[in-house]
Structure 1
């Protein structure tokens, strides 16, 4: 069996097709509450990619999701849609033992600080 045979059997990731157009915010919010971790992760990516500000609270909640991929995707999305309240939560994750989540939180804080013009929200600052 060559590599191509393996690729055929891999599950497709739950990502919106680029030609599908924007996902309605209500559908994104519903996806964030899905029981399927892949749907939650994809909804986080869509929320960040489309700037769905209505998703901020749900994304903050997903920072404690049982799946590490969902937690990291939520942190990344908060970098786009998060405000000061999200920055407070993200500051607590910069030293998380999960290095992927810690890095995502750090990057998100940088983006929030820049977007809001608040250098005091950057990682490493006392909050």
Structure 2
């Protein structure tokens, strides 16, 4: 397998792992939302909440990064290595849980504390991030 093929395969694997993490986060947030607001009747109603309700706003930056990663992995020609590095570094930075504040890091920390599926998906993404650029991965 050439270096280019390997990078494309790696981007695809990272994209799929992020998708599993995103789904685990959405499932977890749905449960939390329903505890407060009652049952969401349909998947369509849930989708509308994810797109527009403030409860789910913290997940939107992750969704946007996933779109960028998908676009890179689906390009006909190999994207610029610097562009790939920027997106992977953005994912790495975003997926840093924080006990402080109230932004993505805090919500992500809370999800990791309450949901085993999020922990497992997080571990899978972190393993792929470690192989993206060795030496840059933290112990998180």
TM-score category of the 2 structures, normalised to the smaller one: 0.3 to 0.5
Q: Which protein is richer in helix relative to its size?
A: 2
The higher-RCO structure (CA 8 Å, 6+ apart) is 2
